[in-house]
Amino acid sequence: MRIDSLRDWIELLRREGELHEVTAEVDPYLEITEIVDRTVKAGGPALLFRNVKGSSMPLLINQFGTERRMCLALGVERLDEVGERISDVLELQPPQGLADKVRSLGKLKSFVDSIPRTVRKAPCQEVVVTDGATLDDLPIMTCWPDDGGPYITLPSVITKDPVTGGRNVGMYRLQKYSSTTLGLHWQIHKDAAADWREGAGRMEVAIALGADPVSTYSGSAPIPKHIDELMVAGFLRGEPVDTVQCVTVDLKVPAHAEIVLEGYCERGELAPEGPFGDHTGYYTPVEPFPVFRLTAVTHRRDPIYPSIVVGVPPQEDEWLGKATERIFLPALRMTLPEIVDYDLPAAGAFHNCAIVSIRKAYPGHARKVMHAIWGTGLLSLTKAVVVVDDWVDVHDYGQVMWQLGANVDPARDVQLSEGPLDHLDHAPTRQFVGGKIGFDATRTWTAEGYTREWPEVVRMRDDVRAAVDARWEALGLAAVPRPGAAAPRRRTRFGRRR
């Protein structure tokens, strides 16, 4: 089924038993957060609140809160499938024979077909309000007790590069200052912040709320600046995203969005933004950010408002982050083919830790990979890198701890460095810069100075395992789940069918 809009998506969630509707009145001030926090941590359904105090709009939340729903949104069985489709295109070789040419054309076509279309008439403009446009009709949540105010938490913030004219879509939270102004929390390393720095004077901004789930997701993905997130969304959907020209600004927005906020900010005008209970699990402090001034609100008839809560992990954003981790593995392998797999623990807020398994081929290889991670896109903000051998399951944190404990000599295997850190990281003494640490938990080679014999992992012989397999039922052990392997073997959590 094609999911062109948030409504299609809600229908799909309902049919799949993944949606719970709440008709009782709920308060967008703290109460929804408490309900959602419990629901997310219990692996519960998406929630559609029909009756939000102070607003006539229903509020959708927890749409991405489980692996299954993230897969449903992307139309895949496993998150790795998406990466595989991308690597198909990335690894496109000059075609050899005719059959090869046809196949390559198919792959290229799927790329060309990803380019957003422009439509004249769009659902998101069924209702257009310019005079007297206000944010007061939206059920904007105040998530945590010490938050600086209500925040729009799941927006697609659309801006244009002042030099190239290229579009950017970013998921940046927006603090409600007044009926017509918002704080634009694009952090220093993000693309919209670059759009802001590189120009002068007024900068137009459009904010889409409630786009189709893939377009929404794309705003959270660390896509290189010169690539339009909506094109990536089109590729992931297998269907281009329809866009429409805004009414009061020169920007195009997803045509099927529920609500669009049009406006601008003036370069040079900043206002205090924060505090906000963030995905680090801590409040981020008050800092100056640009001010969005509303010029129009357009929306569908009976719009639905989308929201998300972040806070002490795990939260709903875990699965947006995991989708990104899986989708970007092939791109990472383009420059680092030695990487077998990687894992960014959600509990490490994604940027605090990366576990990487590699096919080690030469002395010092693990350190090369650490430095590469510290030099790649937004991954460069990673604080700790753990490198393990190819057979280790990076998603099995028990196995990773085992390797760290068993293989690391802190006098030899720790690499300290320095570099940029995440905008939200409160640990470094100075904001934005600080230390990096790498752990080489791979087997140490003689060529790396190891003077003893590195021991073998304790593994059962294959013939014994096969014999026990054959006897399992006869031993009356049918009810005991058969372990995948007695010896460490790769088991990809994201490769499991559900």
Binding site for Mn ion (CB under 5 A): 168, 191, 223
Q: What kind and span of H or E run contains 325? A: helix 317-335
Residue choice 87, 110, 181, 187 for contact with ligand FMN (CB under 6 A): 187
**Residue 407 binds ligand FMN (CB under 6 A):** no
DSSP string, 138-150: S--BB-STT-SS-
What torsion, rounded to 10 degrees, do the Cα atoms 451, 452, 457, 463 define?
120
Task: State the Cα–Cα distance between residues 284 and 288, nearest whole angstrom.
Answer: 12
Tokens of 473: 């039922």
Binding segment toward ligand FMN, per CB under 6 A, in 15-23, 75-83, 164-172, 465-473: 164-172
Least gap, CB of 475 to ligand FMN (angstroms): 48
> Tokens 């105040």 belong to which residue?
142
Residue choice 69, 85, 167, 185 for contact with ligand FMN (CB under 6 A): 185
Least gap, CB of 433 to ligand FMN (angstroms): 17
| Catalytic site residue from 137, 278, 422, 440 | 278
CB closer to ligand FMN, 229 vs 413:
229
* Known active-site residue 137: no
Tokens of 254: 């997803």
Amino acid identity, position 184: L
Least gap, CB of 107 to ligand FMN (angstroms): 25
**Residue 310 binds ligand FMN (CB under 6 A):** yes
**Residue 289 binds ligand FMN (CB under 6 A):** no
SS3 126: coil
Task: State the Cα–Cα distance between residues 173 and 177, nearest whole angstrom.
Answer: 13
Residue choice 220, 357, 407, 444 for contact with ligand FMN (CB under 6 A): 220
Least gap, CB of 231 to Mn ion (angstroms): 11
Residue 190: contacted member of Mn ion, ligand FMN, none (CB under 5 to 8 Å, by partner type): ligand FMN
Which of the 8 DSSP states describes residue 52? B
Q: Give the number of other CB atoms < 10 A from CB of residue 387.
A: 29
CB closer to Mn ion, 221 vs 261:
221
Residue nearest to Mn ion (CB): 191
CB closer to ligand FMN, 381 vs 387:
381
Residue 320: contacted member of Mn ion, ligand FMN, none (CB under 5 to 8 Å, by partner type): ligand FMN
Binding segment toward ligand FMN, per CB under 6 A, in 30-38, 185-193, 293-301, 353-361: 185-193
Q: Which residues pair with 182 in a beta bridge?
A: 176, 292
CB closer to ligand FMN, 113 vs 287:
287
Least gap, CB of 489 to ligand FMN (angstroms): 33
Least gap, CB of 349 to ligand FMN (angstroms): 11
Backbone torsion region of residue 61, taken as left when φ is above 0, otherwise alpha when ψ lies between -120 and 50, otherwise beta: beta
Task: State the Cα–Cα distance between residues 191 and 161, nearest whole angstrom.
Answer: 9
Which of the 8 DSSP states describes residue 301? S
Task: State the Cα–Cα distance between residues 200 and 197, nearest whole angstrom.
Answer: 8
Task: State the Cα–Cα distance between residues 120 and 109, nearest whole angstrom.
Answer: 25
Query: Are 299 and 138 contacting, i.e. CB atoms less than 8 angstroms apart?
Result: no
**Residue 351 binds ligand FMN (CB under 6 A):** no
Site for ligand FMN in 313-332 (CB under 6 A): 317, 320
Residue 317: contacted member of ligand FMN, Mn ion, none (CB under 5 to 8 Å, by partner type): ligand FMN
Least gap, CB of 251 to ligand FMN (angstroms): 15
Those residues with Cβ within 8 angstroms of residue 15's Cβ, 6 or more apart along the chain or in another chain: none
What torsion, rounded to 10 degrees, do the Cα atoms 29, 30, 35, 41 define?
140
Cis before residue 314, ω within 30 degrees of 0? yes
Q: How many residues touch ligand FMN (CB under 6 A)?
A: 20
Query: Where on the chain is the footprint of ligand FMN (CB under 6 A)?
Result: 168, 170-173, 185-187, 190-192, 219-223, 308, 310, 317, 320
Provide the annotated active-site residues: 278
